[in-house]
Amino acid sequence: MSGPAVARSARRPLDEGARPTDSRRRVTLAAATTAHAIAPASVECGVDRVELAPGASVLPRFAAPIDALLREGVEAITASAPFRHMQTPGGFTMAVAMTNFGPLGWVTDKRGYRYATLDPDSGLPWPALPEAFRALAVRAARAAGFGDFEPDACLVNRYVPGARLSLHRDADERDFGQPIVSVSLGLPATFLFGGAKRSDPTVRVPLEHGDVVVWGGDARMRYHGVLALKDGVDPLFGRQRINLTFRKAG
């Protein structure tokens, strides 16, 4: 089965020359998601959007134009709130290293999953969410059809080759009416997007540097995860993938 052609916009990412072309990339994305109808849609002028399911979209390369700025922000955070491997309530150490920006930070330890105003390692508030990060998340949510997103939490995930994130739902937030905005930077990854039950089939969504996935509305509580990261070197981020997950948590 071949997917429909995906709408193209006139606006091109600023640094496209350094990356695979969009046309090659679209074929990959469409081929990988044939299990679900993939509907080309354009909500805002100049923004490409690929619908994964009602309420869930990929915005290819949406964050690429500000990737250098995002890298600076991520580098700066490591000085005040370094990446750490948190413990799950069951006592396992997470393969993905994490830290947070913003008034609320997602944490896990033997007491459970929750949002905390203070970094448990330092006892200090999490570093403030840089305005450019916040604005990117708000614009992405709007481009995906969620007009009044105001994030108060930005979880920063670091994957090194081999690291994976098992299927889960984002369920520690107060208001499930608000979407999740997830920004991929660095090495490519395969995102798994499932259904309402953990046992539901998943589609494999290839994500590249600069891609943004937004899920809310009917898709807000869907299971999702990330396959083990393949080795490689990204020109800007090196041998890692960074994921920024923006949420309205409180």
Residue closer to ligand SIN by CB (options 182, 240) is 182
Q: Residue 192 CB, nearest distance to ligand SIN (Å)?
A: 9
Contact between 220 and ligand SIN (CB under 6 A)?
no
Q: Does 243 bind ligand SIN (CB under 6 A)?
A: yes
Q: State the nearest-atom distance from the C-beta of 68 to ligand SIN, in Å.
A: 21
- For residue 246, state whether it binds ligand SIN (rule: CB under 6 A): no
Torsion of CA 168, 127, 67, 94, to 10 degrees: -30
CA atoms of 122 and 208, how far apart (whole Å): 33
How many residues lie near ligand SIN (CB under 6 A)?
9
Q: How far apart are CA 93 and CA 95, in angstroms?
A: 6
**H or E segment to which residue 76 belongs:** helix 67-80
Which residue from 170, 173, 208, 234 is in contact with Fe ion, where contact means CB under 5 A? 170
Give which of 192, 208, 233 is closest to 13, Cα–Cα.
208
Q: Does 182 bind ligand SIN (CB under 6 A)?
A: yes
119 binds Fe ion (CB under 5 A): no
DSSP 153: E
> Please, are residues 201 and 228 in contact by the beta-carbon 8 Å criterion?
no
**Residue 149 in the binding site for ligand SIN (CB under 6 A):** no
Nearer to ligand SIN by Cβ, of 143 and 163: the residue is 163
Which residue's C-beta sits nearest to Fe ion? 170
Residues 230 and 93: their CA atoms lie apart, in Å, by 20
- Look up residue 93 and give its DSSP letter: B
Residues between 5 and 64 that touch ligand SIN (CB under 6 A): none
Residue 19 DSSP class:
S
Interface stretch with Fe ion, choices 106-114, 147-155, 169-177, 191-199 (CB under 5 A): 169-177
Site string for ligand SIN, 109-148 (x = CB under 6 A): ----------------------------------------
Determine the Cα–Cα distance for residues 78 and 158; give it in Å rounded to an integer: 11
To ligand SIN, the closest distance from the beta carbon of 220 in angstroms equals 13
Binding mask 191-210 for ligand SIN (x = CB under 6 A): x-------------------
CA dist., res. 128 & res. 100, Å (int): 9
CA–centroid distance for 121 within its chain = 24
Query: How many DSSP H helices and E strands does the chain contain?
Result: 3, 14
Site for ligand SIN in 154-173 (CB under 6 A): 157, 165
- The contact set with ligand SIN (CB under 6 A) reads 157, 165, 182, 184, 191, 224, 226, 243, 245
